[in-house]
Amino acid sequence: GGLARARCELVEDDGFYMRRCVELARTAIGFTSPNPMVGCVIVKDGKIVGQGFHPKAGQPHAEVFALRDAGDSAENATAYVSLEPCNHYGRTPPCAETLIKAKVKRVVVGMVDPNPIVASKGVDRLRDAGIDVTVGVEEELCKGLNEAYIHQMLTRKPFVTLRYSLSVNGHLLDQLGEGVTEAGGYYSKLLQEYDAIIVSGSLTEKLSSLMSREPVANQPLQIVIASDPDQLALAKEVSKTIVFADKEITAEGDLAQKGLEAVVLDRINLTPILEHCKHQGLCSVLLDLRGSFGNHEGLVKEAIEQKVLQKIVVEVLPYWNEANGGESLVALNGLVKRLEVKNFCP
Ligand code: AOF
Ligand code: ZN
């Protein structure tokens, strides 16, 4: 009857405001690492009276911006936050205390913070202060938003995504497809999401033009697997670059002469590269299977066998390969399709 309907409407409202939090959080895509993306809205009498998001590590948290925006209206209001408010002094003071001081009546949390120094302590602190707390609204959406952060927090290893593109008849392609490289296109958006991109050496010229064209906030670290050292000079101009090379191909000294940070391995393999990312504290890495990466087939095999992949992104581009070699392409009209396989584990 009436009670069931009221409860149902309440849940719908919570979901609505939480989705708004996630939307706000996403404005900072590419800026927040190693911190998560977080959004917050303050709602009173069915109206949003304040909103905010965490813009960058080192800057105030989402709650602080939303409460500032709400001013005195925060009193007796409901605060929606896509991630549990923190209860620790990090680079910034604890948000749970800030919410208590602002006298909010209720807090709705998307998901508990997997950070071991928070891990439900923020929720406990709010409840101890007599605030009504609901946890787990639009939880999957909130988790998807920060999949890399969550993975890195729980495993201390970076979140690894493999990406490649296929023609509609299933051949591996080198190219990104028309329109994909433009700023705001989905490839550049994908790049923004990662702390580092692993590419093959022969690709760096193309990659540098791709990256430099963009007025981007976040230039991911370029991890280049060297094939020809002469092609690497360009790479570092656009983004911080580190080169991994096979000792058969080049000596560390040759690369250092070009001003490149380099690691020479007995044999190119993924483990030391991912170890490097881990030690740098990187949250996410995109293993981009383009250009001559096809020559490093072993790396993909290794990634699958060692179960290091968390996600695979496959772009199906509007081309039909006539030949097997991938040379003769027929361009088709149509949209690029991006498929994502999450929680990949063979
Ligand atoms: C929140 N709201 O908007 C974010 C939170 O160094 P700090 O002070 O920025 O703290 C970083 C940690 O705070 C981060 O690892 C995560 O646990 C939490 N992030 N918490 O209440 C926010 N960005
Ligand atoms: Zn906080």
Per-residue pLDDT at 212: 47
Among the bound ligands, name the one nearest to the CA of residue 89.
1
**Is the distance from the beta carbon of residue 109 to the nearest atom of ligand 1 less than 6 Å?**
no
Catalytic residue among 63, 147, 193, 214: 63
Instruction: Name the residue at shortest CA distance from atom 12 of ligand 1.
Output: 35
Centre of ligand 1 to C-alpha 32, Å, is 10
Measured distance CA(110)–CA(53) in Å, rounded: 14
Q: Ligand 1: which of 80, 82, 86, 126 to mutate, most ligand atoms within 8 Å of CB?
A: 86
What is the DSSP secondary-structure string of 112-166? ----TTTTTHHHHHHHHTT-EEEE-TTHHHHHHHTHHHHHHHHHSS-EEEEEEEE
197 beta partners: 222, 286
**Is the distance from the beta carbon of residue 24 to the nearest atom of ligand 1 less than 6 Å?**
no
Q: Which tokens is 143 given?
A: 């988790």
Residues with CB under 5 A from ligand 2 (ion): 61, 86, 95
Residue 67 backbone class (left: φ over 0; alpha: ψ -120 to 50; beta: rest): alpha
Which of 109, 110, 146 lies closest to 26, judged by CA?
146
Instruction: Name the residue at shortest CA distance from atom 10 of ligand 1.
Output: 90
What is the DSSP secondary-structure string of 11-36? HHHHHHHHHHHHHHHHTTTTTSTTSP
Helix (H, G, I), strand (E, B) or coil at 173: strand
pTM: 0.86
Q: Which amino acid is at 110?
A: G
Among the bound ligands, name the one nearest to the CA of residue 98.
2
Number of other residues whose CB lies within 10 A of the CB of residue 306:
12
Q: Which tokens is 31 given?
A: 């800026």
340 is catalytic: no
Centre of ligand 1 to C-alpha 86, Å, is 6
**Is the distance from the beta carbon of residue 90 to the nearest atom of ligand 1 less than 6 Å?**
yes
* Strand duo 319-321 + 329-331: pairing: antiparallel
Report whether 92 contacts 64 (CB < 8 A). Answer: yes
Instruction: Name the residue at shortest CA distance from atom 4 of ligand 1.
Output: 61
Residues counted in the chain: 346
Measured distance CA(263)–CA(247) in Å, rounded: 9
Sign (positive/negative) of CA torsion 278, 282, 284, 287?
Answer: negative
Start-to-end C-alpha separation, the chain: 48
**Is the distance from the beta carbon of residue 35 to the nearest atom of ligand 1 less than 6 Å?**
yes
Which of 109, 102, 105, 103 lies closest to 14, judged by CA?
109
Residue with tokens 């990187």: 282
Q: What is the mean pLDDT of each run of 10 residues along the chain (346 residues)?
A: 52 86 95 96 96 96 98 98 95 94 98 96 97 97 96 95 85 62 68 88 56 59 75 58 78 68 84 93 90 68 89 84 59 65 61
Per-residue pLDDT at 326: 47
